[in-house]
Structure formats: structure tokens, C-alpha cells
Structure 1
């Protein structure tokens, strides 16, 4: 699988078409002497460009959540990291965000590739009409996924009462150099995402040519994520069930722990074990990298974050181990390989289903769904079914499990924004630093990220404005 994905033959015209070298480069002049894609194979190869088109960078969201440990050196060198990591609401993050931020530029670079496929695949050469439609549909789904990440990073969370009047992000639908665009409303962006999905769905295969090619299961799972973010629990549940009908497998982390127990329990050894969360992970619907696409090892998490995991969580124990280096103590990542932190997985869909059931008042069903996940995670010596008698109790269990299960992905950030805006199941972050208690309130402006200053200063063929004041 890995060899197949890495056989990218079109790097030259990726450099031509995407342009990630500067803040306005995706709208710059096209370099001379580069190959232009013509055949369907050319366009299909773009879907396999995992490091460029399948990277979901959310570094500042991870900093804000304190889900990724940052060293003092990093915090001192990157002022924006420090502002988010310590929840400093007095800092103007707009002025700090004056470099090429990968979250923005990598996303729009990928969108440019997907636009190119969508515009040209149906008229490409050397392929059947059915084959052309499949590639076109894959690109539609991936574009929708990428815009979902952008709107939930740089704009306020969805609220049906205000979504039509609040701005989201620039909508670019053409790969043409200097293509015009508009910064559309949040409602218009969600409508666009759903339209892309609706148009793609009839042409998607059950499974794609590789795990980078989203099939029906990935589409249904993503639909469930979108509708959950829109607080449409009926639709989210319906699509969650459709996704689980395509794939309902859960990886047995208790078995992984048992297999690697000697190494995991060796408190003085930090030799890494192999990641099961790679291209072949049985929970995958589709694969996309997270903030890092390196195979060296998993991100380190803060020591305080480790206390939020459930006792006996084999998934946590298998992935992180307490380590002290000098004055720093943290949970060191003890797995190496690749990690599906940007794609859709069955565990997310189970937890979407559990929340929707709880919202409908189906408390027992929600807990059964949640415990189905937990049985593959919690070691037998610590396991007991979680129970609830109210929606609030069920939600507390689901929220904790989901935030831990989807750590280092964009999902916890989206979820907390959604819960905070609803005002019922709010999340206040808190920690003690040098004897001082720091908090991040549910209503803080910091839950929306500022656009990079370079993008504002070099907008290309359109205009857009910041969605935050600082």
C-alpha cells in the first residue's frame, strides 16, 4: 500500500499547479516548461499525492487545546504558539500570524488540485466515462472535507440563526491562475460542502483504489460529521448508521497492549513500537495525515493531559509514556509510523452515533454504542460498562471518550466549539502554570483562528476580512 501511494509521477506539474512557496503563489503565473495533465491517469495521480493533498495541519488548534506538548524553546521562538498555548487573550494573534501558516496554505493548495481534477477529469483522455466520474467524485469529496476543516478553523462554529450573516473563508472553485473568489457566509459554505457531497455520492465506489480515495463509507462518515456540526442529529445518526453498514470494525487496542506489554511497561525504555494507525488500519474509511506527515513518531502530549484518560486505557498506555528530561516532564510518544489523524474512522462514527442517540433521549442505546468502543480500549482489569440515566450523564461520558479517542485530530476542536456555543455542555480549559491558574472560557474569542496576515495582505483576485478581532 505504501509503495503504491508513493509512486507519484506528476510532481513537476504539482509544483506548477499548486504553488505552496509563498502566500499568493497559488494565484501566481504558471512556470514555463512544465507538463500539463491530460489523461485521467494524470488527474488520478493527484489524488495519491498524500503529503500535499492529504495533510490536515491544525497546529494552533492543538496548541489551544493543550493536546500537544510544546517545549519552552518552541514557545519562546514562536509567539503565536505561546499565545495559544497559554490562552493569552490580551495578545493580538493577527499580528503574530504573519508567516506562511501551513493550515491555510496547504489546504488551499490541496483545494487547487481538487479544483483542477473537478474541472478537467470529465473531459480527460484515455478513460471510460465511468472511470472519469469516479475520479471526479473522489475530488469532490476531498474538496468538501478540506473546506470543512477551513471553515471550522478560521470561522465561528455553525449556528443556524447566524450562519447566513457571518463570514466563513474564501471559496475558490477554479484552478485557473488568478481565479476570482468570494468570502462566503458560513451557511453558504456548508451548503457548498453538502452540494459537493450530494453530487459525488452516486459515482463513488464502495472502496477506492487506495485508502486515499474516499469511497462510500468515507462519504457517509463525513456526512455524519458535517450534520453533527450543524446540530442536525437526525441526519447525523442516519449517515452514521450508513457508514457503519459499510465498515463497523474497531481495532483491539487491548490486544496490541498485550502483544507489546513488555516494552510498554518498561519504564526506562523509550524504544518505539509500530503504529497500527497507518494506511491499513481497520478503522479507516479514508486516510489523511494530521499536522505531521512524518513517520518518525507520534506527538508528545502534556503531562496534565494524560490525567484526562480513563484508567486502564490500553490505547493511551500503548501510545504514550511519562518521560522527564531536565526540567520537563511530559508523555512521550512511543509509537512510530503513520497516523490517520485527518481522515474518517469508524471510532469517530460510533461516537457520533452515541451522541445522537443521547440527544434523542435513547440513553441505554447511547451507552451501548459507547461501551462497544470502550471494550476494545479498556483493559479487562479496569473495564466496567459505563451507565447513565440522563442525557447529561451520557453526554459527559461520550464527550470525555471522544476527546481522548480523536486526540491530535481536528475533531475535538470542532466538538468543543460546538458544545460551547450550544451553552449546555460547555468546556472550560484550565491549568496551573508557575502557581497561577490559567483558564480558557467557552466564550473566548480564541476559539476561532485568525487568517495568516500574508493572506490578508496578498488576497489575489478577491477580498476577505478577518473573522476575529485579535
Structure 2
């Protein structure tokens, strides 16, 4: 973990124009700036690179992101995840592929720095200090949730107190001790961070990058859903929707842009509506990329899992063949909220909670209200059923398509597989060979990178998966 902090310290130093990475708070070079004011610390929350959440490995396992034949040949780790190779030793292959781990912990260190110092900063009222402190708490909790749901088993009440999760680090000091806590301890910590932050979160935040009260409630709901605590998940979903309940109208977007979208063999279209100011956003966070441009392509098999007439597919990707590869190529440009929190996620959490409580008609009313803003009217039909399993599977399908290339489908699949009732598995045929991702595959948990296990800093780190 020591190497993590050296990298983190450099990132933080760059953000504050400091020259020293070893003691950037105590040894300020001449002409450099040491963080003192609240604005100095709040600037870390605006650092879009340091606050992104990289989930490339999860996208590969789910096949939510297309990987070219050339990349599969040259990158054995990509091949292991994307082709569901149960025999591959991903631990041996995880030498340099460490971006998710270090990006997440770099963010955690920045948030720790804010939490440690925000309440004693200058040029701010106590209320202003508390707002930034609370926002850092939410973002730190989000990072811990992400790494826990990538590098550790999913939460299960029967095993959470004994299975290990990830290192819990609460100081920005590069020599701070770390402890690989249990899954239960990590979730308790995450929930406590949210609880402490909620009283101080503003109803309207400074920018789309800053958590507001709706974001706090929405994240609370997400965490409780992952713990299969549907009562609390529903409670906080309702509170979040009381703060913001807007849905973006993909039908209207398509109608306004179809003259460009529907041009055959054209892959240049409108600006993505999924950016900072989308009406569904509680808060915006980048995913695996923060560049202004196109979304990653998706496999043909993945595109087939969208509903007929789904304008999220039709408006965002178009089938294309380049050399030996055929895939759905991104046709929008812009920013994408793959790491943040949105109203549609909260609506779908609420729908699942209601369905699990056998309130099927209420759950489907929410689901269909969402689908009406996503499905071409000529293709749209209400989903109508009294069967709980049918209703839940419809909710899961819409949610997976809504959040393709975000961590949410991956976390949900792991949760459902642990529950054992609505298991998630996949099959695909490539060049005549059938490949399978089983619901109980070890591929659902990523190994820690070798750089972390071989140099854990002031702590220890045990792999959570055999290979």
C-alpha cells in the first residue's frame, strides 16, 4: 500500500502545485502553495481525474464493452475476463493492470485529506466547512463501495463478518496503517460515513461533481439494496426521489435528432445528453474514461439484450464492421455519468423493493413509466404481470440496459448470484465455440494487483480469489 500513497501524494501535490511528494504538507518549497483555505481542499472534489471510478475489468466480465480480436490476442488479462477463461491465472496476469485499484485509493486519499482538515480550514464559516467535509465523506464511501464490490465477495449476511474485503484507510498520510477489514466492517464503515454526512449535505450542490442531499439518500439506497435490506433501500429511495424525481426523455431526444441518427453508415451524430446537466443526475462522476468523446463500443451479443425499439441503444450505438471485428460503435460525443448517481437508478431500486414485497402493480407502474421514456412508441407495450419473478426479471433487464458500462449491473449480478434465486449467467458462441460465465464463477471477483499484495505498505493484504 505504500506505493499507492506515493502515487497519491504526487497526484495531490500536482493538484496543489507542490514540488514534494514525500512530505507535501510540512515541507512546502519556495513559491509553492500549501492547502490552508477551505477552497484549497474543496478543489480536490472538483478534480475529475482523481474522482473517476474505473471499472474496465467489470465491463469486460459482463461483456458490456467490446474488445477487439487484436486486443484479446495481445492482452491475456483482457482475454481471461472477456472470454470467461476459468483456467487463466489472473493474479499472475495482474502486474501492470492496476488502474482501477490505484485510481480508487488515490481518490480515497484525497477525500481523507479533506475529512482530516476541512473543519479547521481558514476563510470559511463552520457551515461551509461542514458541507465540504460531508461531501468528502460521501465520495470516500462511494470509492470504498466500488473497490469492495470489485475485489471482494459481495455482501451476504451469513458470511460478511468472516470474509475479508479491502484495505480500510482513513488517513492521507503516506505512512498510515491499513487494515484489510471484513466485508461487514467495511459496510458498517460506509453506512456510518453516509449517516454522518447526511445532516450537512446541501439540497443544491456547488456543481454536478459535488454530492447533494439527494445523492446522499440515493447512495444510502444503493448500499442497502446491495445488502438485500429492501426496507431501508425503499425508505431512502423515497427520500431521494423527494429531492429529484425527473426522468430524461429519450423518445424526445431521438425525435429531435433522428435525421442524423438514422443516416446509414454514418457514425457522427448529436452531442450526448448524458453529461453534467442531465436532469436525472444527483451527482456526476466519470467511469473508466473522463475524456470528451465517444462511449466504448459494445458487442453484438450485448446489443441484442436491449428491448426492440430501445432508444438508449438506437441513439447511442450503431453496428459497424472494421476488419475482422463487428460491433456496435458509439455515435454520440460527450460526457457520461458512469460513476455517479441518478434518479432512474433510484426508481429501479424502488421498483425492485416493491416487487419483492409482492406489490407487483406498484413496481410495474414505476418500471413502465421509465420504459415509456426509453422505448420507441411504435414498439412500446406495458409490461403486465402478476408474477413476481416475471416482474423482477423485467426490472433487472431494464436496469442492466440503463447502466451498461457502469458498475451497477456487475454489483447487481453478484448480489443476485449470492442470493441464489435470480442467478445471472451468460453464454456466447465465438467461431463455433460456446463460452459460459457461470453464476458461481470465481471470475465475478477480481484479484488484487501484484503491486498491492507484494508491497502493502503499513499493513497486510490477502487475495480474495484463488486466480
CA 1:28 to 1:171, structure 2 compared with 1: closer, same or farther past 3 Å? farther
**2:15 is the counterpart of 1:17:** no
- Contact 2:119 2:130 survives alignment (8 Å): yes
**Alignment partner of 1:138 is 2:135:** yes
Counterpart of 2:398?
Answer: 401
Q: How does 1:84-99 map to 2 (within 5 A)?
A: 84-99=81-96
Matched, 1:259 2:256: yes
Which 5+ residue runs of structure 2 have no aligned equivalent?
A: 1-7
Give the corresponding residue for 1:4: none
1:212 alignment partner in structure 2:
209
Match of residue 8 from structure 1: none
8 Å CA contact retained: 1:296, 1:337: yes
Mapping of residues 21-170 of structure 1, within 5 Å: 29-30=22-23, 33=29, 34-53=32-51, 55-170=52-167
Runs of 4+ deviating beyond 6 Å? none
TM-score with structure 1 length normalisation?
A: 0.94
Single out whichever of 33-42 and 180-189 deviates more from structure 2: 33-42
Residue 203 of structure 1 is matched in structure 2 by: 200
Supply the distance in 2 between the matched residues of 1:342 and 1:217 (Cα, whole angstroms): 16
Relative to structure 1, the CA distance from residue 403 to residue 309 in structure 2 (aligned partners, 3 Å threshold; closer, same or farther) is same
Are 2:462 and 1:469 aligned?
A: no
For the 8 Å contact 2:9–2:174, the answer to whether it is kept is: no
Tell me how far apart the structure 1 counterparts of residues 46 and 130 of structure 2 sit (CA, whole Å): 17
The answer to whether the 8 Å contact 2:452/2:461 transfers is no
Conserved? CA contact 1:16–1:30, under 8 Å: no
> 3-state SS of the aligned residue for 2:281?
coil
**Of the candidates 168, 172, 182, which is equivalent to residue 171 of structure 1?**
168
Q: Deviations over 1:65-93 (max 9, x none)?
A: 00000111211222110000000000110
TM-score computed with the length of structure 2 as normaliser: 0.94
Q: Does the CA-based 8 Å contact 1:182-1:463 persist in structure 2?
A: yes
Question: Higher mean Cα deviation, 368-377 or 95-104?
Answer: 95-104
Alignment of 1:300-319 (within 5 A): 300-319=297-316
Paired position in structure 1 for 2:292: 295
SS class of match (2:180): strand
Pairing 1:272–2:269 present: yes
Q: CA deviation at 1:273?
A: 1.6
**Residue in 2 aligned with 1:323?**
320
Question: For structure 1, which segment, 144-153 or 71-80, has the greater mean C-alpha deviation from structure 2 after superposition?
Answer: 71-80
| Structure 1 residue 100 displacement after superposition | 4.7
- 1:364-412 CA distances to partner (integer Å, 9 max, x unpaired)? 0010010010010011101111012111010110111110001110000
In 2, distance between residues paired with 1:350 and 1:130? 31
Alpha carbons 2:298, 2:329 under 8 Å: kept:
yes
In structure 1, how many angstroms separate the alpha carbons of the residues matched to 2:21 and 2:257? 51
Q: Which residue of 1 aligns with 2:5?
A: none
Deviates more, 1:405-414 or 1:256-265: 256-265
- Counterpart Cα distance in 1 of 2:66 and 2:97: 22
Deviations 1:259-303 (A, max 9, x none): 111111112111132011100011000000011111121110001
Query: Alpha-carbon deviations, 1:300-343, whole Å to 9, x = none?
Result: 00011111100111111000101111221100001111000100
Partner of 1:350: 347
| Partner residue in 2 for 1:424 | 421
Q: Is the 8 A contact 1:18 1:110 kept in 2?
A: no
Structure 1: segments with no counterpart, 5+ residues: 1-12, 21-26
* Partners of 2:320 and 2:262 in 1: CA distance: 13
Residues 69 and 324, structure 2, Cα contact 8 Å, conserved in 1: no
* Separation in structure 1 between the aligned mates of residue 74 and residue 176 of structure 2, nearest angstrom: 36
Question: Per-residue deviation at 1:56?
Answer: 0.8
* Deviation digits for residues 137-161 of structure 1 (CA, Å, limit 9, x no counterpart): 0000000011000100000000001
Q: Distance in 2 between matches of 1:84 and 1:324?
A: 23
CA distance in 2, matches of 1:254, 1:15: 45
Distance 1:183 1:18, change over 3 A: farther
